[in-house]
Structure 1
């Protein structure tokens, strides 16, 4: 009715505008009444030019053309001599658009939809468009099961021919599903076919899953899952005959019914490959997951199409189509499958364009790209490029799209859109951990220095037991083929008497340099050289005697060490901070070279992997091992305690591995697992009692001294939570840890492994990384009870 009224009004206005009008030749055109809209814009739409013979019909057409622009609420044509005068009244512009009350639909999504129909700030106001918006919003909320929604737009006139629009939304509550009834299923039970449904009746988890809230999109998805369930099990002619959704008069309760036809189980009688195959048929046959004699499976059919398209996309056929065509024989209950291949034109990449990198230089992104300009398009290269960019840690989001170059069939442009995130910090702050106490720190760090991709950090840190100054720099592209170079320098002073370590002091100065050498897309080597000077002070009668004896045996309080390091890693993770698939294999060896005060070696290995297991859950398994020993012909010159003259040096105690803590076997205090000793009244070392206490000693509890061998294993499941949408900001997980440290490899005994289980929160907070663990030891011994720690947390900058 509103549209009919508008047409009648237009006819009336046109008639009034043309009243008393006589045809004439237009010598000039003048437009009166313009404020916001330019005369040039009006001329672009006006079907009348100078020199035209203007008749009543032409004048009416001109008025209609100007009304159709929706710029004007009134248009009138007049004549002054041979000058055509166009008098217009502009529609008001939208100065402000406010949306209130929307919770279920994000405001940016609403504004995007409104803009598509011309209702946005700065646009011309059209009352009819506002009415359409009202109906569209109501429809969208109906699709979400909110039938009590009301949408009330309010228009306020402002000065200078402007309006302010306020859209008030009262969403109401979503209708709850009271009953879902599937009719016609005989081969499977209701529970089996509805197991993956998002829609369901109210249960104890509905507060979280919202499964009992009706949504048209959810129901459509569930019916698609129902069809897939049957067709993946051979029912090739399955169908949904009808669907009925009934709402109660109070608009709060929904009833859903679906009638299905199961059909029969079909077997694949033959498989054909037709069309332009490009590759050899033998090769393509290896990509076909549907075999003659198999029970029909739609999932296998779709996987075959996707795989063939993927292989063709890797060799330049970016727009290849693979259409599966099943031919059913209902009498024999067989399916003759044909895959029709249309590769299309092979395309080249003309240009790779980067968008969104306001701080990062294009070259930093370009050197990570495996899709090169001027080469054939490759989906595998695109996918690998995306992973490499995500793993830089500079970007919150990476999207890569392709667009055909206008006017060509064999060229595409690749656009890489990134959303940058902070890659550095200037921090002066306070942190805290139960192990270190209050941590004062000041640091400047940047993982993307001046947008070059280089990283550096300078920091100072002080806690209850240590002071440390560090500086580091790394250039990942010293050469064009990706060889990087890095430098580290540090000075630290530690008093382990204020920790759970054995009681001694250590002052360390060190410098190292290393090269990072890529050997494949996923593998790299790290080769380094370093030197350090450790000044160690032990205290007879306070420090465990075994450590005092070792220091006396080597005859030095200052230990000079030249080290060489060699490391290898195989990294297939798909993210930097919060991966969801892929893993890391790493192995590294550090050797104290001949000429060092003590010659020794250390090996550290780690293997971990992430598996998405559905529903947003991610399984993570990790295993670590550390082992060290001395080497060479250095021996004690005389006997000290347990150390005998002529015996090779043991592994140096200041390099020992420790176990337990917020990043290790959680549920136990930091560094408290593994070998321990007591300090007796006479200064001699002794083994602690079975309950972990010391008798007749200066300390009630034994002091951990670490060991030369360590193992650690972790099983962890990352849990999706509705209020944690961005896993790059925070993650929650359930875990089980197993591990311990041992004096040496020969001392390893699986019965001595400790284990814990619990829940962990990892949060990239503004103050720095925050870790909170709620853990319970599930395998421990009586001597551990003094070191158990149910709640562990640490936050602040870590170097």
Structure 2
């Protein structure tokens, strides 16, 4: 066919180039041009004025003009010594319309058509249109739509233009009706097909599309089938043949695969050959398959990857490890050789950044752990990528390496980033069962002027609190990563509008914080601040709290605060981790000279473990402890006695050691804590000042007699313990875990008035399901929880369904 086409072309060229005697061209005239400039055509001609024109040159000129694809016809004539070229221009594409495409987005289609040369403003070429037609059909075949039709309509327009209308009739996708694996004896069909992307129709196929045939999916499934057997010892397993049949109406697919299982092989020995670089004992620790083990392809691949990784970390960026198994079919053994080719040791010449249009290079460079001029280290590069991702400035981060031209021991690294908005001007509305409607407004910039500094100012109000604060943080006060931050704020909380103890608490504060990195994973944080806190109580406030305020002798509490904290963070993501964890230890409190001197110790440890098939296990434990030091009460503290108003009840005595301040108590329970109980309602509860047992505890059912409130008001405590186990679940309709996650949880915990009152029998526990969604309106959490360990006085504080969205204090 190619030879016939060539003969036709030569015949055409001969016909269009009339035979003539060679002559010297005195001038060149081009007839028939309407859109294309004459200079453009002359630039493609292989002949100029003053040259001698022969038949061979004439044919070369015609070929050159045809190859431009500007013309549908070209003729050459001679008028005296003037060369006359007559052309017929191909029409221009004035309009391109796509109809009927649903599976493939129009933007993707137009991008592909433009690459082929079929777009508005381009010259129309019928061959290009034919190629587009065949390519579209192929793409729909890959999506299992075998009765698709692609019909192009070309309409001539005035001024040598055309309108192209591509009509696509996608039709229905062919569904897989049967998948038959023939020859499997050791394992069931269900076992070997577990994890296949291809499947027969089921109740989730409407979403997963797993019943739609695709050649690529089938190829991947056959590779999974091979891995399944080879990971279980069948070293000579093979797929003998694969047949795919389609029904006459092109709506049903039938897949048959014939396999040869072979025998189970045992590893007789493992050899390390080649240029080892590192001591053999070191490398053998990275080999996960040993003499006597059942042959396992996954273990072999993990071994080769581990050896390549350790070599890449010491500069051998292009190391190769080739596994060579030698099978003894009589003994059913496999002698395994790992052949190591480290290649040249390379160092990084230069690190460049692309895509950071707003962020300064220095902001990215200071996160890099792979330095210029140092030996290449894959571990350092991976850590650099993680640190760049955790900045929150970029949607995507990729770091590519390329050999420096003309060298074998130098590479350049290119960090390609796609920036996203790191700042916001936000007006929000949220809601939680605890806080009610939440209104907020804020201006924040996590990458201030591209420097990486963070600045924010915001205000928030809800049913029971008001808050306004401003903060500024410089994450790199020094080149070593010492961070300094400042925060000033005002807040007012009216607990009387909740189920908590009835009092108001307003705070004015200023704080400066210093964070010192110890390593890539560890940091120390210290702070110093000052605050002024005003507490207002009433007869509806539990008498014990009123008496405490009298005993310390001041409604306004002044505090010099300080803190020291340690953090160890190995999480692989900020929003939705799947591995790693976080350890936090902190000590903070009020320094000498404060109205009440106290300290609080808090510790939390958590970790994520991926356990396969999309499941992630998360465990978390928290302990909080608070205590006062070096102070005695300045006054006696009394609670109102409704039985004898002239004789109040003394609760605190002058000179006694000061108890832990109630406004600094820990709380537990709620949508982010021990789920299934109302926010902050676990732990000690007290009756209000009008109760017949003022300052006392409610009865065993949580009731208070004679007071304004018929129930005990939660007041928190100085000791808190909490444990959580969560299993994040893989759900087919939640593909992006950075957007949404669902988990099954078990929470255990409570708050106690002091460590000495801790009783394991008082711990509360719940279980249920939780949805966490980064919705456009803000973070959304919905819990369905069932408390399975509770007390009789918890009744009014139990909540089966809890939710919150938007901002929350």
Q: Is the 8 A contact 1:563 1:593 kept in 2?
A: yes
Matches within 5 A, 1:500-579: 500-539=499-538, 541-579=539-577
SS at match of 2:229: helix
1:544-592 deviations in Å (ceiling 9; x for gaps): 0111111111111111111111111111122232223222111111021
Task: State the match for 1:582 in structure 2.
Answer: 580
Q: Please, which of 613, 617, 620 is the counterpart of residue 618 of structure 2?
A: 620
Task: State the match for 1:648 in structure 2.
Answer: 657
* Range with greater deviation from structure 2 (443-452 or 343-352): 343-352
1:114 and 1:720 map into 2 onto residues whose CA distance is: 37
2:19 and 2:431 map into 1 onto residues whose CA distance is: 88
2:584 and 2:683 map into 1 onto residues whose CA distance is: 24
Distance 1:758 1:38, change over 3 A: farther
Task: State the match for 1:669 in structure 2.
Answer: 678
Q: Please, which of 733, 738, 746 is the counterpart of residue 756 of structure 2?
A: 746
Distance 1:44 1:185, change over 3 A: farther
Task: State the match for 1:55 in structure 2.
Answer: 54
Q: Would you say 1:372 and 2:371 are equivalent positions? A: yes
Q: Would you say 1:315 and 2:314 are equivalent positions? A: yes
Task: State the match for 1:398 in structure 2.
Answer: 397
Distance 1:258 1:547, change over 3 A: same
1:658 and 1:417 map into 2 onto residues whose CA distance is: 45
Q: Is the 8 A contact 1:511 1:531 kept in 2?
A: yes
Matches within 5 A, 1:93-492: 93-94=92-93, 96-107=95-106, 109-111=108-110, 113-121=112-120, 123-157=122-156, 161-492=160-491
2:20 and 2:218 map into 1 onto residues whose CA distance is: 61
Task: State the match for 1:699 in structure 2.
Answer: 709
Task: State the match for 2:494 in structure 1.
Answer: 495
1:604 deviates by 1.8
SS at match of 1:451: coil
1:636 deviates by 5.7
SS at match of 1:191: helix
1:748 and 1:414 map into 2 onto residues whose CA distance is: 56
1:481 deviates by 0.9
Task: State the match for 1:777 in structure 2.
Answer: 787
SS at match of 1:302: helix
1:778 and 1:125 map into 2 onto residues whose CA distance is: 73
2:36 and 2:317 map into 1 onto residues whose CA distance is: 44
Q: Is the 8 A contact 1:467 1:493 kept in 2?
A: yes
SS at match of 2:687: strand
1:530 deviates by 0.8
* Range with greater deviation from structure 2 (112-121 or 259-268): 112-121
Task: State the match for 1:795 in structure 2.
Answer: 805
Aligned length: 797
2:767 and 2:158 map into 1 onto residues whose CA distance is: 66
Distance 1:613 1:78, change over 3 A: farther
Task: State the match for 2:778 in structure 1.
Answer: 768
Task: State the match for 1:604 in structure 2.
Answer: 602
Q: Is the 8 A contact 2:551 2:653 kept in 1?
A: no
2:801 and 2:400 map into 1 onto residues whose CA distance is: 46
1:709 deviates by 1.4
SS at match of 1:552: helix
Q: Is the 8 A contact 2:674 2:765 kept in 1?
A: yes
Q: Is the 8 A contact 2:692 2:706 kept in 1?
A: no
Normalising by structure 2, what TM-score? 0.92
1:476 deviates by 0.2
* Range with greater deviation from structure 2 (775-784 or 548-557): 775-784
Matches within 5 A, 1:709-720: 709-720=719-730
Task: State the match for 2:747 in structure 1.
Answer: 737
1:615 and 1:27 map into 2 onto residues whose CA distance is: 78
Distance 1:584 1:81, change over 3 A: farther
1:483 and 1:121 map into 2 onto residues whose CA distance is: 56
Distance 1:587 1:120, change over 3 A: farther
SS at match of 1:511: strand
Q: Is the 8 A contact 2:669 2:675 kept in 1?
A: yes
Normalising by structure 1, what TM-score? 0.93
2:60 and 2:798 map into 1 onto residues whose CA distance is: 88
1:427 deviates by 2.1
1:121 deviates by 4.9
Distance 1:724 1:43, change over 3 A: farther
1:262 deviates by 0.9
1:52 deviates by 4.4
1:274 and 1:35 map into 2 onto residues whose CA distance is: 71
1:206-228 deviations in Å (ceiling 9; x for gaps): 34443333222222111111111
* Range with greater deviation from structure 2 (453-462 or 18-27): 18-27
1:57 and 1:137 map into 2 onto residues whose CA distance is: 40
SS at match of 1:685: coil
Q: Please, which of 694, 699, 703 is the counterpart of residue 689 of structure 1?
A: 699
Q: Is the 8 A contact 2:553 2:635 kept in 1?
A: no
Q: Is the 8 A contact 1:545 1:683 kept in 2?
A: no
* Range with greater deviation from structure 2 (467-476 or 767-776): 767-776
Distance 1:36 1:579, change over 3 A: farther
1:93 deviates by 4.3
1:332 deviates by 2.4
Q: Is the 8 A contact 2:608 2:617 kept in 1?
A: yes
Query: Aligned-residue CA RMSD in angstroms?
Result: 2.7
Distance 1:784 1:324, change over 3 A: same
Q: Please, which of 757, 767, 780 is the counterpart of residue 767 of structure 2?
A: 757
1:335 deviates by 1.9
Distance 1:222 1:75, change over 3 A: same
1:13 deviates by 4.2
1:366-388 deviations in Å (ceiling 9; x for gaps): 11111222322221111111110
Q: Is the 8 A contact 2:71 2:87 kept in 1?
A: yes
Unaligned runs of 5+ in 1: none
Distance 1:71 1:313, change over 3 A: farther
SS at match of 2:13: helix
Distance 1:43 1:715, change over 3 A: farther
Unaligned runs of 5+ in 2: 639-649
Distance 1:34 1:532, change over 3 A: farther
SS at match of 2:369: coil
1:681 and 1:279 map into 2 onto residues whose CA distance is: 78
* Range with greater deviation from structure 2 (105-114 or 236-245): 105-114
